[in-house]
Homo-oligomer: A and B are copies of this chain.
């Protein structure tokens, strides 16, 4: 399931919903992305996430299906927030459940790598020393490229 929302979410609740299903789950991996306190040495005041409504949901749906094709998953969830956030606020949550722990780990990392470079979100940071759009990292491109060659 995917959700794009401005509201916060509860990690424990989301994991509980997934684990309480009538499925033979062996392990659940989760990754939560947080707004950092500092960007280099600048204190972050706010981070505002802009996205492309419509396209975001389509892209998230697509990549969730891709993860479910590549790995044997019992369930998966992507929640991505947009709007104005503060340091320590949660930005994104990815949960993957599988009978095999490797499948849960790998698919969760795959989804996060993908979100970093392929989900239409942009981050505006307001820091002590002014505002700027967060630049994409070329290291993130490299991470996501690995998955196109890597076997499951």
Binding site for B on A (CB under 8 A): 10-13, 15-16, 19-20, 22-34, 36-38, 88, 90, 99, 101-102, 104-105, 108-109, 112, 143
Contacts and interface: CB of A to CB of B under 8 A. Distances in A.
Contact of A36 (B11, B26, B105, B108): B26
Contacts of A112: 27, 101, 105
A36 to B, nearest CB: 5
Given A11-B15, A24-B37, A27-B112, 16 more contacts: A10-B12, A11-B30, A12-B13, A22-B37, A24-B38, A25-B88, A27-B33, A28-B32, A29-B29, A30-B31, A30-B32, A31-B101, A31-B104, A105-B105, A105-B109, A105-B112
